[in-house]
Amino acid sequence: MHNPDRPVEVEVVERVEETPSIYTLHLRFTDPEVASGYRLLPGQYNMLYLYGVGEVPISIVSDPDHEGLLEHTIRSVGRVTEGMERLRVGDRMGLRGPYGRGWPLDKAEGRDVVIVTGGLGCAPVVSMIRYVLNRRERFGRLVILQGVKHTDDLIWRRQYERWQALPNTQVLLAADVGGPNWPFSVGKVTVLFNQADIDPDRSIVMLCGPEVMMKASIDRLLALNVPADSMWLSIERNMQCGIGHCGHCQVGPHFVCQDGPVFHYPALRPWLGVTGF
Amino acid sequence: MATSALFLPRSSVDSLFDALRDQGFSRLVGPVARDGAIVYREIASAADLPRGMRDRQAPGTYRLETQHDGVRMFSWANGPQALKPLTFAPREPLWRCARDESGGLTFADVEREHEPTAVIGVRACDLAALQIHQQHFLESPYPDPHYAARRASLFLVAVHCSHPADTCFCASTGDGPRAESGYDLAMSELDEGFVVTAGTDPGRAVLASLGLGAASSLQREEADREVAAAARGQGRSLPSRNLKDALYARLEHPHWDHVGRRCLSCGNCTAVCPTCFCHAEQDAPALNGESAEHLRQWDSCFTAVHSYMGHFLVREETRLRYRQWLTHKLGSWHEQYGRSGCVGCGRCIAWCPVGIDITAEVATLMESGDAQP
């Protein structure tokens, strides 16, 4: 029987320092056969393994058709991610995946795609944004609402500015705390809904970030007459196996590692914001 | 299909053990009285079985008593272990990783061969729990090879329960005291011997090799009567209906605070629970730095790190951990596995150091109506 827990070897091909505590690793499978069999969907994640330390679930930033390299943006928050920060080009690590359900691509086709995200929560939606931009004719308008705590937390600022200049695309940014070089809004991401051009009947909404932020955003979206049925969100929980066995990631009946991390909002509604789930 | 019932005289139990060895089950594991409890250990012969032992269980209490005139070897309900440690090991390696001088990593499986083992004296509640674990680990999009290898090495000899403890409530969950399925052989213990039926082909092969006579109708009736009495005698119960909606409607019930103040969050209940499956993964690097073993070991939703998220804990407070355990076990379990996660073995009641009683907590929660604000 195949061992679903066992990683394969990958090599760090490129390393980008995004902020002092956030870095992006570009990874390549060392076995070409593994590379050719690997298929991902935007919103899925991999379990990354640091030799002798352990595994962590990290969402995939790459476009599914981007051949060869897998991009992971990681914040140093714990034992494993702090250790991974020290990896350099040429170093080896382990990887298994991709796991979980990604964004509902089929339901998004032909519609306006509204992305609402906060903090580094943007990582799971970046592959979706890239997916839309690389297949622009298959989608309607693209609206991106991004909130960060501090202006320094905005990684990929140039990328956002590039997206802002594209036709049929609206990019709105807000920081809780503004600063001298911050030309965008100040406040929570929810302040952006006044400026956002959202057609409630044509839009599919994808949210990612802290759950209080998503809950507040959903309330605003419902007030704008966006149906609950059109909303999807990606959540995080402690995940150790990625394959629905270890039990840590449960939220009510859901195993986030397999039933998520992307959920249809109506399925998650009873649990969202309930302390302890 | 179970075969017709045969009779195994008490003096022939060792011939059954020999027959099991002849069928390739070189290791026998059975109940023994050790450290004041019934535990499953390797046994050599019927002389190792806990003859004349009875267990007295109550909330926070487990005592073994010897009945000096007792001839029976299964006149107890259960001990802290179920089958769980034999199929889902408390700690086991999942894979190994070797690092060469240039930093290259090679991942390899660990050995998954286990000595064929016959387990004697399996209880109905534990067979029900085994069925749940098989569903969890094997009927998954990612079948677990570690669990599969251990499970495949086992031959299960059930003994229908005739002496439930005061903590037992398997009759109310529908999981006992009679073992209905999942066994290779099932036996009822009478004073003079055992009424035996086979549930699988390997079980039939073992019985065929023994050349036993049919059990008499008196023996079969006596065996049925004892199991029926064991069901009737159970004083505790859980409501037999699906409690999911009732529990979901009581997530803010004040009783969670009440139980949260008593609970020590020690995790004993999850360790003895035959259906709890949570486990943590960790890496154990070798001292020379050349290899690492990746392990899993039992975890508990009562530990703080179970819900660790890097910058916060989802369940900081004990009441939230107890609520997670209970609403999962009796609520969301229905959505995940099509039944409740409780098989009525009562272990969480006896082995809780402060005697928290799942049946009493549920009764209190259900007494008052919908307490959702």
pLDDT in tens, B266-292: 999 999 999 999 999 999 999 999 999
Cβ-nearest to B107 among A7, A241, A246: A7
Cβ-nearest to A250 among B105, B279, B328: B328
Angstrom distance (rounded) from CA B271 to CA B91:
12
User: Which residues partner with B92 through β-bridges?
Assistant: B296
Angstrom distance (rounded) from CA B80 to CA B347:
6
- For the entire predicted model, the pTM comes to 0.95
pLDDT in tens, B16-25: 999 999 999 9
Angstrom distance (rounded) from CA B332 to CA B209:
45
Residue B334 CB partners (closer than 8 Å, separation 6+): B242, B244, B340
Q: What is the mean pLDDT of residues B92-117?
A: 96
- Contact of B55 with B7, CB cutoff 8 Å: no
- Contact of B359 with B326, CB cutoff 8 Å: no
Residue B47 CB partners (closer than 8 Å, separation 6+): none
Query: A237: distance to nearest CA of chain B, Å?
Result: 6
The chain A residue lying nearest B320, using CA atoms, is A276
Q: Determine if the peptide bond prior to B177 is cis (ω within 30°).
A: yes
Choose the mutation target among B92, B106, B314, B340 for the interface with A, i.e. most A CBs under 10 Å: B314
Q: What is the pLDDT of residue B369?
A: 63
* pLDDT higher at A148 or B201: B201
- For residue B113, the chain A residues in CB contact (below 8 A) are none
C-alpha closest to that of A58 among A110, A1, A7: A7
Q: What is the pLDDT of residue B199?
A: 97
**Rounded percentage of chain B residues whose pLDDT exceeds 70:** 98
Least confident of A42-51, A155-164, A195-204, A254-263: A155-164
pLDDT in tens, A162-215: 999 999 999 999 998 888 888 889 988 999 999 999 999 999 999 999 999 999
C-alpha distances in Å from residue B213, one per residue of B4, B187, B197, B205: 11, 14, 12, 15
pLDDT in tens, A197-211: 999 999 999 999 999
Domain boundaries, chain A: 8-99, 105-268
Q: What is the pLDDT of residue B2?
A: 53
Query: A7: distance to nearest CA of chain B, Å?
Result: 7
Choose the mutation target among A6, A120, A269 for the interface with B, i.e. most B CBs under 10 Å: A6
Q: Give the domain A105-268 fold.
A: Rossmann fold (3.40.50)
pLDDT in tens, B112-166: 899 999 999 999 999 999 999 999 999 999 999 999 999 999 999 999 999 999 9
B34: tokens are 């050790």
Q: What is the pLDDT of residue B60?
A: 98
- Contact of B371 with B250, CB cutoff 8 Å: yes
Torsion of CA A244, A245, A247, A249, to 10 degrees: -30
C-alpha closest to that of A232 among A148, A57, A106, A131: A106
pLDDT in tens, B203-242: 999 999 999 999 999 999 999 999 999 999 999 999 989 9
Cβ-nearest to B105 among A9, A53, A81: A9
- Contact of B237 with B359, CB cutoff 8 Å: yes
Q: What is the pLDDT of residue B158?
A: 98
Around Cβ B100, how many Cβ atoms within 10 Å? 10
Q: What is the mean pLDDT of residues A103-118?
A: 96
Strands B91-99 and B61-66: unpaired
Strands B117-122 and B27-34: parallel
This complex has an ipTM of: 0.94
pLDDT over threshold 70, residue A121: no
C-alpha distances in Å from residue B40, one per residue of B79, B123, B272: 8, 12, 13
The chain B residue lying nearest A277, using CA atoms, is B314
**Cα atoms found within 13 Å of the Cα of residue B56, Cβ hemisphere only:** 6
Residue B204 CB partners (closer than 8 Å, separation 6+): B3, B198
| The architecture CATH gives domain A8-99 | Beta Barrel (2.40)
- Contact of A169 with A163, CB cutoff 8 Å: yes
pLDDT, averaged across chain B: 96
Does B278 contact A247 at a Cβ distance shorter than 8 Å?
A: yes
- For residue A52, the chain B residues in CB contact (below 8 A) are 99, 283, 285, 289, 292
Least confident of A54-68, A93-107, B132-146, B186-200: A54-68
Query: B185: distance to nearest CA of chain A, Å?
Result: 27
Q: What is the pLDDT of residue B138?
A: 98
Does A247 contact B277 at a Cβ distance shorter than 8 Å?
A: yes
